[in-house]
Amino acid sequence: MALKITVIGTGYLGATHAAAMAELGFEVLGLDIDPDKIALLQRGEVPMYEPGLEDLLRRHVAGIEGSSGRLRFTTSWEEVGAFGDVHFVCVNTPQKHGEYACDMSYVDAAFEALAPQLHGPALVVGKSTVPVGSAARLAERLAKLAPAGEQVELAWNPEFLREGFAVDDTLHPDRIVVGVASERAEELLREVYATPIAEGSPFVVADFPTAELVKTAANSFLATKISFINAMAEVCEAAGGDVVKLAEAIGHDERIGRKFLRAGIGFGGGCLPKDIRAFMARAGELGADQALTFLREVDSINMRRRGHMVELAREAVGGSFLGKVVTVLGATFKPDSDDVRDSPALNVAGQIHLQGGQVTVYDPKGMDNARRLFPTLNYAPTALEAVRGAHVVLHLTEWREFRELDPARLADVAAEPRILDGRNALDAELWRKAGWTYRALGRPNA
Ligand code: UDX
């Protein structure tokens, strides 16, 4: 009989995983402690913007016309415990307030609520990004709390999905990593992932600590790559070089590769910044802090980018923001997402506002979230409206919509046709031809 799957936590990760599991043919029950979120999902609506996710969900949510009916949602732990053969824990692990460490309270609460409901054989699979050592600790808690005792097992299966590509990354993962303590657990997970494995996704079997570390190591590497190219951008600016050319040239070396070498205002979002900090904090607890001191530098190069962008903008408007109108194009931490968590774009907008600038923000999808986080900024309904009267325009999130803008039309409404490209993504020639002064991070002024 086909496995029955539950997914605990229905954020970016959980909602996508639940819909993907239904797409793979399993009966799926999703749980969240937020009844509003559950009501929304039950109607086939997604609480965030993620391309393709709503379609996928609607194909499977029970009660929606034409759906497979394989996907349902609940707030009942009892129901989840009785339903599932495999339980995926997908709750979030944010940064703790006031410290670097990871806040494990949601993961811990999920295990404490789920375990007492497990009366028969079950595999609990952690997907959340956690400090190394958590799986071993949680396995002990499960053994203690689950009425079915040894019939309940734990596995760790980190998730590598990128926002904006979550559906594709989940259905066609570039690798599946599982930390297991038994062959039975491995076999069950091979069954769950049979389709992507048959398509050729590598299946890597490891122990608990290695599986946990794979995730933090991968994100640390990506963060390091971005900060590396941003450090090169700083040197390029000092030496009159062009970081975009430099990235292209070193990227031809296959060992280096071209991806994740886009210099700009740096990384943000709900993962990279907090994951490298939690990793440093955990290494400190383990007595291995020296091994990760370089991540402190990666973090500070990254944070410096935001300050540098503010400085360039201040310089562009003549040394002070007082009485100046500043347009910020982009609020989300990356395009194709409505996520503004630790967004470099909004951070820059906020700093300029605090320094007395009149900041107007426009973003294709992130306006509601941005408004909630920074209610004191101005928000315009279109890019054109946002640019009206601007003394300087900052391009801070590389949405396709911004690359497709007509610089000549914008020049007509701006007070000063001056643009700073914080993502090195606009066509400099096009903007210059339309009368703009174009400047980008890490590139010479033409
Ligand atoms: C990341 C990891 O990529 C993913 O594997 C993991 O599961 C979760 O964390 P995500 O947070 O969705 O995914 O975003 P990602 O695409 O990695 O981008 C992170 C940040 O880096 C964004 O702010 C982006 O603008 C920035 N970035 C990315 C750069 O500044 N330059 C680059 O070259 C690439």
- Summarised one tens digit per residue, pLDDT across range 224-280 is 999 999 999 999 999 999 999 999 999 999 999 999 999 999 999 999 999 999 999
Task: State the span(s) of the chain assigned CATH 3.40.50.720.
Answer: 4-206, 242-446
Q: Would you tell me the crossing angle of helices 208-239 and 293-316 to the nearest 10 degrees?
A: 40
Inform me whether the pLDDT recorded for 59 exceeds 90. yes
Confidence of residue 2 (pLDDT cuts 50, 70, 90): confident
* CA distance linking residue 56 with residue 387, whole number of Å: 36
Pairwise CA distance, residues 213 & 129, whole Å? 9
Measure the CA–CA gap between 172 and 72, rounded to whole angstroms. 23
* Residue 292, phi then psi, degrees to nearest 5: -115, 15
Q: What does the pLDDT average to over 314-336?
A: 98
CA atoms within 13 A on the CB side of 313: 36
Residues with CB under 6 A from ligand 1: 159-163, 219, 222, 226, 260-262, 264, 266-269, 271-272, 333-334
* Ligand 1 center–CA 78 separation, angstroms: 37
Query: Is 271 a catalytic site residue?
Result: yes
The number of the ligand 1 atom at minimal distance from the alpha carbon of 265 is 30
The answer, yes or no, to whether residue 150 has pLDDT greater than 80, is yes
What single-letter DSSP state applies at residue 378?
E
* pLDDT higher than threshold 90 for residue 139: yes
Q: Residue 445 has what pLDDT?
A: 83
Question: Token pair for residue 423?
Answer: 């993502």
Q: How far apart are the CA of 267 and the centre of ligand 1, in A?
A: 6
Q: How far apart are CA 234 and CA 442, in angstroms?
A: 6
Q: Which of 229, 334, 338 to mutate to test the pocket of ligand 1 (most atoms within 8 A of CB)?
A: 334
The structure's pTM equals 0.96
Q: Which two tokens stand for residue 233?
A: 């951008």
- For 78-113, b/e burial (b = at least 16 CB within 10 A) is eebbebbbbbbbbbbbebbeeebbbbbebbeebbeb
Rounded distance between C-alpha atoms, residue 363 and residue 343, angstroms: 12
Q: Which stretch of DSSP H or E encloses residue 231?
A: helix 208-239
169, 224, 271, best to mutate for ligand 1 pocket (most atoms within 8 Å of CB): 271
Query: Can you give 60-72 as a three-state secondary structure string?
Result: HECCCCCCCCCEE
The CA distances from residue 413 to 189, 317, 387, in Å, are: 57, 17, 7
Return the SS3 of 50: coil
Residue to mutate (ligand 1; options 165, 226, 303, 332; most atoms within 8 A of CB): 226
Give the model confidence (pLDDT) of 413-430 as tens digits: 999 999 999 999 999 999
CATH topology of domain 4-206: Rossmann fold (3.40.50)
Which residue, among 131, 92, 107, has the nearest Cα to 281 in the 3D structure? Answer: 131
Is 315 or 47 the better-scoring residue by pLDDT?
315
Dihedral sign computed on CA atoms, order 271, 425, 377, 385:
negative
For residue 366, the CA-to-ligand 1 centroid distance in Å is 17
pLDDT, tens digit, 9 for 90 and up, residues 161-198: 999 999 999 999 999 999 999 999 999 999 999 999 99
Report the atom number in ligand 1 closest to the C-alpha of 218.
Answer: 5
As to burial, measured by CB atoms within 10 angstroms (0-12 exposed, 13-18 middle, 19+ buried), residue 144 is exposed
Q: Which atom of ligand 1 is nearest to the CA of 219?
A: 2
pLDDT range class, residue 29, cuts 50, 70, 90: very high
Q: What's the mean per-residue pLDDT of the chain?
A: 97
Catalytic residue among 90, 102, 236, 271: 271
**pLDDT for 140 beyond 90:** yes
Cα separation, 326 vs 390, in Å, equals 6
Q: Residue 446: pLDDT above 90? A: no
Q: Which atom of ligand 1 is nearest to the CA of 262?
A: 33
For the domain covering 242-446, report its CATH number.
3.40.50.720
Structure tokens at 267: 């990384």
